[in-house]
Amino acid sequence: MQGSRDCENITPLMKQVIAIPGDDVVLTDEYIQVNGKKYTYPTLYKDSTGRDLPVYPRGRYMNTNRYWLLGVSDPKSWDSRYWGSM
């Protein structure tokens, strides 16, 4: 099938929504906590080639009005730890 050949060597990019509007989020270097549930995913400050990574400001985001995403299948995922909520 032509369509399936076009998708060879492509891996889907999946993120889990861990916080929705109205949730309380605490973002630290070691974890993200949402309404008291802790996701232990340390923040990296360098990529695999040693380049600096931007990180979203650490802190408390109470009664957030946006969505927070986490790549739960890989602790090195590019997610809300780096670019914040959506």
Label residue 14 by pLDDT band (50, 70, 90). confident
Which two structure tokens, joined as six digits, stand for 12?
A: 């889907």
Mean per-residue pLDDT for 39-52?
93
Mean per-residue pLDDT for 54-74?
93
The yes-or-no verdict on residue 1 having pLDDT over 80 is no
Mean per-residue pLDDT for 33-42?
95
Q: Kind and range of the H or E element at 32?
A: strand 32-34
Give me the pLDDT at residue 5, please. 57
For residue 44, give the nearest of 79, 15, 11 by alpha carbon: 79
- Higher-scoring residue by pLDDT: 10, 37: 37
pTM for the full model? 0.79
